[in-house]
């Protein structure tokens, strides 16, 4: 390329314009949420503090779809809520059934082992999800109920794989197994279908920085009545994450230690946005946006990490790059040259996939932005994808599924 403009333009790359963020969390903050957090500090012991916090607990239960039990708010990342769930409801040495098929399910297994649980871990290809059949076998075989909890990573963020929680509940019920059902819903809850109560989930973990469209800093832990009962006798030593302290203080809307009130203000608005749109509409929107991204990926001639459509996640797509391409180049080029962040391939997927996060506060044009940038970065990194092909495939899907088309034209 030797046009005068191109030559002149060399070296003109600047920090101009917005950074485009397509990681699977933290997600983009809606403007009303951002505004709501721009507040002075407030007194977390004020007599009217509960007017802010008590409805948040209710709202979270609604988002988790549970009318019983509790949703605790911990000032921590989602990892903290994992720890809270384990240390309050299980005992050291308890046997638990887990599966590993991505970096986050891997880390969860690692935590369980480090905290002293006896982990029965089923390894599965990274690209598949929870092996419900194997779970069913193990549970059926566990006649004396040695398995105290079954762990399900609902949406493995590292591979873009969504698993079938209801089916795991079915497996438990089929053999009448009493184990607690512990679900990591960090990248699913408030974005895709999740039904804590209907699915008999006992512990459900979410974080502020995904479907709840907030900065990181809060974890949410849904706890069933059964898990609350278990917590009363749990023998793990714990303090920061102790349910009992939370229960006592939360009763009046207070916390055992100073909570991040700005995030509470943001959570108020985030919940309002979710409920105003409607949870089911939110789920459909995620499905529609994700399908456009997937069509774009397939139009490139590339595959997802998720091996079968039933595993496809509506919140994140892990894209396998051609063998001749290093996905790390795609990421670096996108970030350094085009001011766009995608998610990286983690652990055994490093260099093999890049991930497009499509959850939270997004619309179809934003997804086209992601695809348009990815095409440039892929081509720059040596992938033979056709320019515009992914964008075109997604555009047509979004156009087909855009409801108000007729009115707008007819108006």
* Residues in region 152-181 near its own copies by CB under 8 A: none
Among 63, 150, 179, 368, binds its own copies (CB under 8 A): 368
Please check whether residue 383 is in contact with residue 392, taking contact to mean a CB–CB distance below 8 angstroms: no
Please check whether residue 136 is in contact with residue 171, taking contact to mean a CB–CB distance below 8 angstroms: yes
Cβ closer to its own copies: 131 or 217? 217
Q: What is the CA radius of gyration of the chain?
A: 22
Cβ closer to its own copies: 141 or 408? 408
Among 15, 143, 176, 309, binds its own copies (CB under 8 A): 15
Strand segments, DSSP code E, in 170-315 are: 180-184, 203-207, 219-223, 303-304
Can you tell me the distance from the alpha carbon of 203 to that of 179, in angstroms, rounded to the nearest whole number? Answer: 11
* Ordered DSSP codes for 282-342: HHHHHHHHHHHHHHHHHHTT-EESS-SGGGB-SSEEEEEPPTTS-HHHHHHHHHHHH-EEE
Asked if residue 362 binds its own copies (CB under 8 A), the reply is yes
Please check whether residue 160 is in contact with residue 187, taking contact to mean a CB–CB distance below 8 angstroms: no
Among 89, 129, 364, 383, binds its own copies (CB under 8 A): 364
Asked if residue 379 binds its own copies (CB under 8 A), the reply is yes
Asked if residue 337 binds its own copies (CB under 8 A), the reply is yes
Shortest Cβ distance from residue 186 to its own copies (Å)?
9
Shortest Cβ distance from residue 173 to its own copies (Å)?
28
Please check whether residue 298 is in contact with residue 325, taking contact to mean a CB–CB distance below 8 angstroms: no
Left (φ > 0), alpha (ψ -120 to 50) or beta: where does 391 sit?
Answer: alpha
Residue 375 phi/psi, 5-degree rounding, is -60, -45
Left (φ > 0), alpha (ψ -120 to 50) or beta: where does 65 sit?
Answer: left
Asked if residue 281 binds its own copies (CB under 8 A), the reply is yes
Shortest Cβ distance from residue 184 to its own copies (Å)?
13
Shortest Cβ distance from residue 183 to its own copies (Å)?
18
Other Cβ atoms within 10 Å of 5 Cβ, number: 8
Sign of CA dihedral 332, 338, 344, 350: negative
Give the range of 58-66, 132-140, 220-228, 392-400 binding its own copies by CB under 8 A: 392-400
Percent of the chain as helix, strand, coil, to the nearest 5: 45, 15, 40
Among 5, 141, 233, 323, binds its own copies (CB under 8 A): 5
Give the range of 130-138, 142-150, 164-172, 402-410 binding its own copies by CB under 8 A: 402-410
Shortest Cβ distance from residue 275 to its own copies (Å)?
12
Which parts of 113-152 interact with its own copies (CB under 8 A)?
Answer: 114-116
Among 217, 234, 253, 345, binds its own copies (CB under 8 A): 217
Can you tell me the distance from the alpha carbon of 153 to that of 262, in angstroms, rounded to the nearest whole number? Answer: 29
Shortest Cβ distance from residue 144 to its own copies (Å)?
26
- C-alpha closest to that of 87 among 120, 57, 66, 116: 116
Asked if residue 335 binds its own copies (CB under 8 A), the reply is yes
Which parts of 16-55 interact with its own copies (CB under 8 A)?
Answer: 16-21, 23, 25-31, 34-47
Shortest Cβ distance from residue 60 to its own copies (Å)?
18
Asked if residue 376 binds its own copies (CB under 8 A), the reply is yes
Among 143, 144, 237, 324, binds its own copies (CB under 8 A): 237
CB proximity list for 383: less than 8 A, separation 6 or greater: 300, 302, 321, 322, 324, 325, 330
Among 129, 185, 211, 215, binds its own copies (CB under 8 A): 215
**In the stretch 63-92, what mask flags binding to its own copies with x, by CB under 8 A?**
------------xxxxxx-xx--------x
Among 175, 247, 249, 389, binds its own copies (CB under 8 A): 389
Shortest Cβ distance from residue 72 to its own copies (Å)?
14
Shortest Cβ distance from residue 324 to its own copies (Å)?
13
Q: Which residues pair with 219 in a beta bridge?
A: 74, 207
């Amino acid at each position: 390329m030797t046009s005068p403009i191109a030559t002149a333009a060399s070296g003109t790359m600047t920090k101009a314009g917005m950074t485009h963020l397509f990681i699977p969390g933290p997600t983009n903050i809606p403007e009303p949420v951002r505004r709501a957090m721009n507040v002075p500090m407030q007194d977390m012991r004020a007599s009217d503090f509960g007017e802010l916090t008590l409805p948040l607990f209710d709202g979270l239960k609604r988002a988790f779809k549970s009318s019983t039990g509790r949703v605790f708010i911990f000032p921590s990342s989602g990892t903290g809520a994992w720890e809270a769930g384990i240390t309050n409801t299980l005992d050291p040495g308890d046997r638990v059934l887990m599966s590993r098929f991505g970096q986050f399910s891997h880390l969860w297994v690692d935590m369980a082992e480090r905290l002293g649980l006896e982990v029965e871990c089923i390894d599965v290809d990274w690209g598949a999800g929870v092996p419900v059949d194997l779970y069913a076998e193990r549970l059926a075989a566990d006649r004396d109920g040695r398995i105290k909890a079954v762990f399900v990573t609902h949406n493995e963020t590292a591979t873009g794989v969504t698993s079938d929680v209801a089916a795991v509940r079915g497996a438990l019920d089929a053999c009448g197994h009493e184990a607690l059902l512990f679900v990591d819903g960090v990248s699913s809850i408030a974005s895709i279908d999740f039904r804590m109560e209907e699915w008999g989930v006992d512990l459900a973990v979410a974080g502020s920085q995904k479907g709840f469209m907030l900065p990181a800093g809060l974890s949410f832990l849904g706890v069933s009545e059964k898990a609350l009962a278990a917590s009363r006798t749990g023998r793990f030593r714990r303090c920061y994450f102790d349910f009992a302290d939370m229960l006592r203080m939360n009763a009046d809307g207070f916390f055992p230690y100073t909570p991040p009130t700005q995030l509470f203000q943001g959570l108020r608005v985030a919940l309002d946005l979710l409920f105003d749109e409607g949870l089911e509409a939110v789920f459909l929107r995620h499905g529609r946006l994700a399908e456009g991204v997937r069509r774009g990926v397939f139009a490139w001639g590339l595959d997802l990490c998720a091996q079968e459509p039933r595993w496809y996640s509506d919140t994140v797509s892990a894209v396998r790059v051609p063998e001749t391409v290093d996905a790390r180049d795609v990421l670096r080029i996108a970030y350094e040259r085009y001011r766009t962040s995608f998610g990286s391939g983690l652990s055994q997927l490093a260099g093999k996939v890049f991930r497009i996060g499509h959850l939270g506060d997004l619309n179809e044009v934003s997804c086209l932005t992601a695809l348009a940038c990815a095409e440039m970065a892929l081509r720059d990194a040596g992938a033979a994808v056709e320019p515009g092909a992914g964008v075109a495939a997604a555009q047509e899907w979004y156009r087909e599924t855009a409801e108000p088309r007729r009115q707008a034209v007819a108006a």
